[in-house]
Amino acid sequence: MTIVRLGIIGVGSMARYHIRQILKQTDTTQITALCEPHKDNYAKAAELFEQAGQPVPPCEPDFEKFLQKHGKRIDAAFIVTPHNQHFPQAKALLEAGKDVLVEKPMVMNTSEAKRLIRVRDKTKRLLAVAFNGSMSPSIRKAAAMLRSGQMGAVLTVSANVWQSWEQGTRGLWRQDPKISGGGFMFDTGAHLLNTVADLLGEPFSQVAAFIDKRNTQVDILTVAIARTRSGTLVTINGCGASPVTNSDVKLFCENGLIQVGVWGDYFNLQMKGEPELKPVELPPSLGVWETFIKVRNGEIENPSPAENGLRMIQLWDAIKKSARQGGAVVEV
């Protein structure tokens, strides 16, 4: 098997989480170059390579210089930068002939999403969005059960995610809408919106929502009700001011109940006639990069294409539109 030479764009805390997982996959991947403007972030990333007994890749702080200097030394790139950098960086990498995995949200808005899809189609390169849920064994298993008809029709969905996001992002770029594009629901909540849409496998038709910014510039609390085109009813709750962090998505079906986490971190199932929810046995996973490599090798179809990123942003746009209109029902 040919080893994929990977360049990582951005090595902040989220990227370092991914690096830890990728360093366990040296049979498929070698991280050959990094792009990070902050020396302290690079130093922290370097420690991870040293701890794993791997050579520390060179770092170029400037993205354009990174492409010029290291473009020929990488086959693929993983973008883990602030949201407003996703579109220009992904576009440049695709046009340079690289396969790209980009952190969520894919881009800042619907226009950028559609433009990036056109670039992907023109360059014929692989583009995937790092939605942990869509790229996890648990969500893929749950989606397969739903598509097969085993669960019967989905009647209602209760989707919740909560995190001490407001407290943990004060003073950071994540609360600057010009850089982040939104608050809790566009950041952590993106996993919630995507996982629900992925599992249902059909477009939403109507949304009504309320948003509370809690004296910040971005959304912190969001509640919404929605209807899919086939009539499934959905409740959405994002609490970015909780003192604790977790998630819970329940799909109430004709033949049973599916319960999953928005990150694909667990899967419980209760079929009709069974007394309680039970965990579903799943294969081990090393995360989104492992799935990306399987897609790149042609082993599986892309479970998180750019269309997922567009769909999530369109749903978020409808939620914001409703909230601006005082919770009015809007078409998606």
Q: What are the sequence ranges of the domains in the chain?
A: 4-130, 137-282+306-331
| Measured distance CA(289)–CA(281) in Å, rounded | 21
> Of 131, 134, 75, whose CA–CA distance to 106 is shortest?
131
Q: Would you say 243 and 256 are in contact if contact means Cβ atoms under 8 Å apart?
A: no
pLDDT band at 1 (very low <50, low <70, confident <90, very high): confident
What average pLDDT is seen over the chain?
Answer: 97
**Fold annotation for 137-282+306-331:** Dihydrodipicolinate Reductase; domain 2 (3.30.360)
86-121 pLDDT per residue, tens: 999 999 999 999 999 999 999 999 999 999 999 999
pLDDT at 43: 98
Local confidence band at 257 (pLDDT 50, 70, 90 cut-offs): very high
**In this predicted structure, what is the pLDDT of residue 320?**
97
Q: What is the mean pLDDT of residues 267-273?
A: 98
| Dihedral sign, Cα of residue 322, residue 325, residue 329, residue 332 | negative
- Report the CATH fold assignment for 4-130: Rossmann fold (3.40.50)
Q: How far apart are CA 53 and CA 47, in angstroms?
A: 10
Distance of alpha carbon 213 from alpha carbon 205, whole angstroms = 25
Query: Which percentage of the chain shows pLDDT scores above 90?
Result: 99
pLDDT digits (tens, 9 = 90+) for 16-32: 999 999 999 999 999 99
* pTM beyond 0.85: yes
Amino acid 7: pLDDT: 98
Residue 55 predicted with pLDDT over 90: yes
Residue 180: per-residue pLDDT:
98
In whole angstroms, what separates CA 181 from the centre of its chain? Answer: 15
Phi, psi of 19 (to 5 degrees): -60, -40
pLDDT reported for residue 95: 98
- pLDDT of amino acid 118: 98
Q: Model confidence at 126, in pLDDT bands (50, 70, 90)?
A: very high
